[in-house]
Structures are given as C-alpha cells and as structure tokens.
Amino acid sequence: MMKTEKMDENQLAKAIVQICYDLHVELGPGLLESVYEEILCYELYLAGFHFERQKPIPVFWRDKKMEIGFRADIIVEKKVIVEIKSVEMIAPVHAKQLLTYLKISGLKLGLLVNFNEALIKDGITRIVNNL
C-alpha cells in the first residue's frame, strides 16, 4: 500500500489514470457511467486511496450557503475531482463544468474521464485550477 495522503495532485492523477486505463482495457467502452464509477471506486479502495463518492459540494451565494451546488462523482484524497462520463463525445461544457467545480471546491486538479472511447487516452482530459 502506498502513502497516498502524501501524494500531490499530479502523482494522484497519474495513479488514477492508470486505474482508469486498466479498467478500460478489461471492460472496454459502452457501459453506464454508474458501472465505471462503481468499479473505479472499488479499485481506488484496493489501492489504498481515500475517496468520497457523489459528494455534495455547497455553493455560496451572497454569503448564503446553498446546500447543494453540485455533486462530484469522486474526490480522491481531498485533492482531485474525477468526473466520469460514458458519452459519444465530450462537449465543451463538460470541461467548463469541471473547472467551475474546481473553483467552487477550492481544488486544483480534475480529471474528466469518458469511458466511451475506443482508446481511453483519448477520453481523459486534465482540467487545472491554479495548479
């Protein structure tokens, strides 16, 4: 087991991408996002990572806390947001949404992962917020 809490965002992202790659090699594209999320979380657990799944992140509006701004698919080690998709094509709005999630949460790195690609390397986009 690795000392995951001492890993920086880039080290975490590299490990997460490897898990996504392994998962995609074995399963391929075409499953529901929920299936990929479930298996990714299981693999993160086996690798010793701390993560939160479907984590509600509040939005503050004019000093008022709105309880639910969005739900992050997975937050790994309180440092990296992983947004999972299984769509024919990632739209520009998906990357913009993830950047907004990073800004609202104060986190610096997000991975937008579309498992519905023939090659998973074509389905992974790094989104940074002041990293």
Query: What does the mean pLDDT of the chain come to?
Result: 92
Q: Is the pLDDT of residue 1 over 60?
A: no
52 vs 121: CA distance, rounded Å: 24
Q: How confident is the model at residue 30 (pLDDT cuts 50, 70, 90)?
A: very high
92 vs 30: CA distance, rounded Å: 21
Q: What is the pLDDT of residues 39-55, one digit of tens each?
A: 999 999 999 999 999 99
Q: How confident is the model at residue 2 (pLDDT cuts 50, 70, 90)?
A: low
Q: Cβ distance 108 to 128 under 8 Å?
A: yes
Instruction: Tell me the domains of the chain and their CATH numbers.
Output: 4-128 (3.40.1350)
Q: Tokens 């309180």 correspond to what residue?
A: 78
Residues in the chain: 131
Q: What's this model's pTM, rounded to 2 decimal places?
A: 0.91
Average pLDDT (50-65) is 90
C-alpha radius of gyration, the chain, whole number: 14
Alpha helices per DSSP H over 4-120: 9-27, 33-46, 92-105
131 vs 114: CA distance, rounded Å: 22
